[in-house]
Amino acid sequence: MNVLEWLLAGDPAVARATLRDLLGREAPYREDGLVARYLALQDPETGQWGGGVYSPKWVSTHYTMMELKDLGVDPADPRYQRGLRVLVDAMWRPGGRESKKRWLDACVAAMMLSPGFSPTHNEVGGATPNLTKSDFCLSRTSPTRRSCPG
């Protein structure tokens, strides 16, 4: 068995990525394997994963959403959309402040919202229509520290 055969025989998300990214072929979306396992772990009451938005590290909503995006989850899946709303709600503070004394960090905000940005349209999928990453960062950060990752 060569490497491509091994990748194609693995988890459906890995096989799909192999077909798409290495072989340049269309691959149908399948919700099983790792994607299904991650989606099943979402808390039905809070919409979070791992009991938090950004921590505990590696199992929280943010990290699970990033992993789901990398695995090629259907961005229209209602559970994924709910996770996007959890992330947006966690970052969207009135006046662009994280607390009364601290401005929201643009890099953290952009990283937390990255699971919702389409690589082709740069918009948050379904959670906040027509909001681009730049709009979010510029409207929610300190007027003197307006930097945002590309």
| Domain-embedded: residue 149 | no
117-141 pLDDT tens trace: 655 434 444 444 444 555 555 555 5
| Domain-embedded: residue 94 | yes
How many domains, the chain?
2
Domain that holds residue 14: 1-30
Outline where DSSP puts E strands in 29-95: none
Is the same domain home to 63 and 128?
yes
Report how far residue 125's alpha carbon sits from residue 75's, in angstroms, rounded to the nearest whole number: 7
pLDDT exceeds 70 at position 10: yes
pLDDT score of 82: 92
Is the same domain home to 56 and 24?
no
Q: Coil, strand or helix: which one is 3?
A: helix
Is the same domain home to 44 and 19?
no
Is the same domain home to 72 and 107?
yes
pLDDT band at 90 (very low <50, low <70, confident <90, very high): confident
Is the same domain home to 118 and 71?
yes
Greater model confidence, 57 or 139: 57
- In percent, the amount of the chain with pLDDT more than 90 equals 37
Report how far residue 28's alpha carbon sits from residue 117's, in angstroms, rounded to the nearest whole number: 21
Residue with structure tokens 């007027």?
Answer: 143
Residues paired with residue 124 on neighbouring β-strands, in sequence order:
117
| Domain-embedded: residue 144 | no
Are 70 and 79 in contact by the 8 Å Cβ rule? The answer is no
With a CB cutoff of 8 Å and minimum separation 6, the contacts of 134 are 122, 148
Mean pLDDT estimate for the chain: 77
pLDDT score of 49: 97
